[in-house]
């Protein structure tokens, strides 16, 4: 679905924010891109939606090479939601905010109304259509932002640190929504995060450090590389760290280890 | 001394209606040696409560007594000095950085309290070293460092005022896990070395479980629990507080349900690991 080949990017022409990154993201998967602050993960997401263009290498999305000519076609395939819900709330009320992208596409009024309702329902915000942003919690604002992106009906949705400013409850709301979009609506989801517990729920993990991919694979396998993760300023979630420690120190207690692993996958 | 709340209420007043943010608060906080976590839902009154502790808000009802000073004060009394006694670190404090250099930003607080420049510089250097900001960064712009470092510079700005009590409103929010642990360890060290009272507002029950000794639970502006953490998590009303259990207790509950491991409460990583290493359940 997304193919990134040998992509480098530099903000200042001296240091590479990303260097020689190559990766594949499969259709219908939920991929998390993990990395410390400054690892290049947001740069990568901006490259994928064409907000930045690579200084080297190429990006192909659904068979289309990302270049100026294809940009408007590609924007119909891939959408992005950013970290701070307050910075991206552009409408006066929820309904205007969801409508913003649709208005820009000159969609007929009736169809637009119907779409606003449809996507507000999808994110459980249909009872808040006339609310203003200050009347909403962070999680609710973030769901409105997602509804606005979904209304564009793209196949791929990137969520760049979409939960890092939310409280645990708001985070859970977003996780539930992501699962629904991915499993039931077959959206390809890419989440950018530094939160390993959050990333543990996705199908596929990519770990960036100083602009390079250092680990890739299933969450279970990636989390075994504790030292490498630590050296990248990423800490294992409490429950995984306990599990790894017991694998090392009490490998004979299979019953305990199995029960602990079951706890991890339940999360 | 320390901080006392006596039947304190505060309402935010709008045009037509007023909204009670906290009500009937009675509280006694020692000036030394406490590590208190204040927890509760968004909107439960946590931030309103702590803003009374250094007179950013004055009670509509009742009295707050901070280091002997009664609030609201009598008309002629100046209370600015309380802001030095009780240092408050807001959420996302790095948004408040503004100076040209890091060291100037950290010095800003003590200078405002009419310290001499030399003394302010000395306090700033000491605070910078506590939070791990290296001397080589002093002359850099506070806007050209990482988010985690910015947060530390902002915290150093409060520490430089040498407050007696430190109040932290969601200090780790938005930091990556490493940044979170590093910052909390700085607070732990300040607490242990200087016996300073620390008051922490957080949503993160793992931080509460690992660091706090005493927990205050707020619900709809009222204190519904005030006591030791051991008592909180075992409290029969715990479910009615709508709080999450911390991860170590969740793991222990899961192990009790699945393999019948005896539930012995543990509150942090090391003690849970020791317990699990030691159990023999064959």
ipTM: 0.74
Q: How far apart (Å, rounded) are the C-alpha atoms in residues B223 and B23?
A: 9
CB-CB under 8 Å, B204 with A246: no
Q: What is the mean pLDDT of chain A?
A: 88
Are B170 and B268 part of one and the same domain? no
- Of A171, A184, A183, A182, the closest CA to residue A142 belongs to A171
Residue of B nearest to A233 (CA): B178
Residues B197-202, mean pLDDT to the nearest whole number: 96
Q: Residue B258: inside a domain, yes or no? A: yes
Q: How far apart (Å, rounded) are the C-alpha atoms in residues B234 and A34?
A: 36
Closest chain B C-alpha to A79 CA, distance in angstroms: 23
B72 cis-preceded (ω within 30 degrees of 0) = yes
Are B3 and B68 part of one and the same domain? yes
Q: How far apart (Å, rounded) are the C-alpha atoms in residues B132 and B55?
A: 30
Residue A110's Cβ-count burial label (10 Å; 0-12, 13-18, 19+) is exposed
Q: Residue B119: inside a domain, yes or no? A: no
CB-CB under 8 Å, A262 with B279: no
> Nearest 5°: CA angle at A184, between A41 and A44?
10
Query: Which token pair is B268?
Result: 């942090």
% of chain B residues with pLDDT over 90: 69
Say if B254 is an interface residue toward chain A (CB within 8 Å). Answer: yes
- The predicted pLDDT at position A266 comes to 58
Query: Which token pair is A82?
Result: 């950013």
Cα torsion angle, B268, B270, B273, B277, sign: negative
- Of A73, A77, A33, the closest CA to residue A188 belongs to A77
Are B227 and B250 part of one and the same domain? no
Are B70 and B172 part of one and the same domain? yes
* Overall domain count for chain B: 2
Are B55 and B40 part of one and the same domain? yes
Concatenating the DSSP letter of every residue in B200-238 gives EE-S-HHHHHHH-SEEEEEETTEEEEEEEHHHHHT-TTG
Are B1 and B62 part of one and the same domain? yes
Of A2-6, B212-216, B233-237, B278-282, give the lowest mean pLDDT range: B278-282
Closest chain A C-alpha to B119 CA, distance in angstroms: 35
Q: Residue B184: inside a domain, yes or no? A: no
Interface list for chain A against chain B, based on CB atoms closer than 8 Å: 36-38, 137, 164-165, 167-169, 194-196, 233-235, 237-239, 241-242, 245-246, 249-250, 255-256, 259-260, 262-263, 266
Instruction: Enumerate the residues of chain B whose CB falls inside 8 A of the CB of residue A37.
Output: 146-148, 176, 179
**How many other C-beta atoms are found inside a 10 Å radius of the C-beta of residue A199?**
25
Are B238 and B250 part of one and the same domain? no
- The dihedral over CA atoms of B250, B251, B252, B256, expressed in degrees to the nearest 10, equals 100
Q: Residue B275: inside a domain, yes or no? A: yes
Regions of chain A with pLDDT less than 70: 265-267
Hey, which bits of B67-206 come out as E strands?
A: 69-71, 86-89, 165-169, 197-201
Are B169 and B278 part of one and the same domain? no
In DSSP terms, B197 is beta-bridged to: B165
- The predicted pLDDT at position A265 comes to 63
Say if B91 is an interface residue toward chain A (CB within 8 Å). Answer: no
Q: Which residue of A164, A165, A259 is in closest CB contact with B258? A: A259
Are B217 and B198 part of one and the same domain? yes
> Could you read off the pLDDT of B237-266 as tens digits, one per residue?
999 998 989 999 999 999 999 999 999 999
Q: Residue B84: inside a domain, yes or no? A: no
CB-CB under 8 Å, A36 with B273: no
CB-CB under 8 Å, A256 with B177: no
| SS3 (DSSP) at A30 | strand
Q: Residue B55: inside a domain, yes or no? A: yes
pLDDT at residue B16 tops 80: no
Are B71 and B171 part of one and the same domain? yes
CB-CB under 8 Å, A262 with B258: yes
Are B75 and B169 part of one and the same domain? yes
- The predicted pLDDT at position B168 comes to 95
Q: Residue B74: inside a domain, yes or no? A: yes
Q: Residue B271: inside a domain, yes or no? A: yes
Q: Which domain holds residue B4?
A: 1-79+165-178+193-243
Per-residue pLDDT band at B91 (split at 50, 70, 90):
confident
CA distances from A161 to A33, A37, A199, B230 (A): 10, 11, 11, 34
CB-CB under 8 Å, B177 with A235: yes
Most A CBs within 10 Å, among B174, B243, B274, B280, to test the A interface: B174
Per-residue pLDDT band at B267 (split at 50, 70, 90):
very high
Say if B251 is an interface residue toward chain A (CB within 8 Å). Answer: yes
Most A CBs within 10 Å, among B151, B170, B178, B245, to test the A interface: B178
Are B251 and B219 part of one and the same domain? no
Instruction: Enumerate the residues of chain B whose CB falls inside 8 A of the CB of residue A165.
Output: 173-174
CB-CB under 8 Å, A239 with B177: no
Q: How far apart (Å, rounded) are the C-alpha atoms in residues A198 and A171?
A: 9
Residue B231 belongs to domain with CATH number: 3.40.50.300
Asked whether the beta carbons of A216 and A222 are under 8 A apart, the reply is yes
Residues B80-84, mean pLDDT to the nearest whole number: 88
Residues 6+ apart with CB under 8 A from A36: A194, A209, A232, A233, A234, B176, B178
Instruction: Enumerate the residues of chain B whose CB falls inside 8 A of the CB of residue A196.
Output: 177
Residue of B nearest to A168 (CA): B203
């Amino acid at each position: 679905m997304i193919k990134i080949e040998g992509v480098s990017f530099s903000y200042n022409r001296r240091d590479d924010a990303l260097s020689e990154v190559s990766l594949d993201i499969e259709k219908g998967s939920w991929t998390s891109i993990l990395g410390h602050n400054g690892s290049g993960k947001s740069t990568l997401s901006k490259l994928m939606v064409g907000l930045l263009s690579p200084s080297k290498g190429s990006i192909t999305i659904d068979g289309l090479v990302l270049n100026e000519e294809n940009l408007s076609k590609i924007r119909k395939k891939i959408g992005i939601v950013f970290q701070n819900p307050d910075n991206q709330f552009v409408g006066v009320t929820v309904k205007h905010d969801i409508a913003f992208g649709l208005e820009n596409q000159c969609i007929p009024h009736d169809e637009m109304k119907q779409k606003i309702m449809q996507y507000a329902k999808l994110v459980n915000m249909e009872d808040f259509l006339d609310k203003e942003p200050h009347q909403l919690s962070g999680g609710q604002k973030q769901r409105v932002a997602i509804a606005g992106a979904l209304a564009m009906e793209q196949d791929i949705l990137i969520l760049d640190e979409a939960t890092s400013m939310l409280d645990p409850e708001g985070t859970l709301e977003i996780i539930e929504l992501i699962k629904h979009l991915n499993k039931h609506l077959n959206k390809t989801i890419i989440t950018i995060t530094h939160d390993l517990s959050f990333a543990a729920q996705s199908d596929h993990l990519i770990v960036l450090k100083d602009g390079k991919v250092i680990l890739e694979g299933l969450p279970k396998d990636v989390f075994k590389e504790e030292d490498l993760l630590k050296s990248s300023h990423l800490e294992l979630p409490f429950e995984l760290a306990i599990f790894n420690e017991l694998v090392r120190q009490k490998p004979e207690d299979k019953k305990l280890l199995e029960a602990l692993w079951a706890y991890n996958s339940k999360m | 001394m320390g901080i006392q709340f006596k039947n304190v209420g505060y309402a935010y007043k709008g045009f037509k209606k007023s909204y009670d943010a906290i009500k009937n608060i009675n509280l006694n906080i020692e000036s030394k040696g406490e590590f208190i976590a204040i927890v509760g839902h968004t909107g439960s009154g946590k931030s309103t409560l702590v803003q009374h502790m250094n007179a950013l808000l004055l009670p509509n009802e009742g009295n707050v007594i901070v280091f002997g000073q009664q609030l609201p004060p009598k008309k002629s009394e100046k209370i600015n000095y309380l802001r030095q006694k009780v240092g408050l670190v807001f959420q996302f404090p790095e948004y408040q950085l503004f100076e040209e250099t890091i060291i100037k930003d950290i010095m800003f607080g003590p200078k405002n309290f009419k310290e001499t420049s030399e003394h302010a510089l000395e306090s700033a250097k000491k605070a910078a070293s506590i939070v791990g900001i290296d001397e080589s960064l002093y002359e850099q712009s506070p806007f050209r460092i990482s988010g985690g470092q910015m947060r530390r510079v902002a915290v150093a700005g409060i520490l430089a005022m040498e407050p007696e009590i430190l109040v932290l409103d969601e200090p780790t929010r938005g930091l990556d896990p490493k940044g979170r642990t590093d910052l909390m360890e700085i607070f732990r060290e300040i607490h242990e070395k200087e016996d300073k009272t620390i008051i922490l507002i957080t949503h993160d029950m793992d931080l509460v479980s690992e660091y706090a000794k005493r927990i205050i639970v707020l619900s709809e502006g009222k204190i519904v629990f005030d006591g030791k953490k051991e008592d909180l998590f075992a409290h029969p009303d715990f479910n009615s507080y709508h709080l999450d259990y911390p991860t170590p207790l969740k793991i222990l509950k899961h192990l009790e349900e699945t393999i019948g491991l005896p539930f012995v409460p543990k509150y942090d990583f090391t003690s849970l690991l020791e317990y699990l290493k030691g159990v023999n359940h064959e």
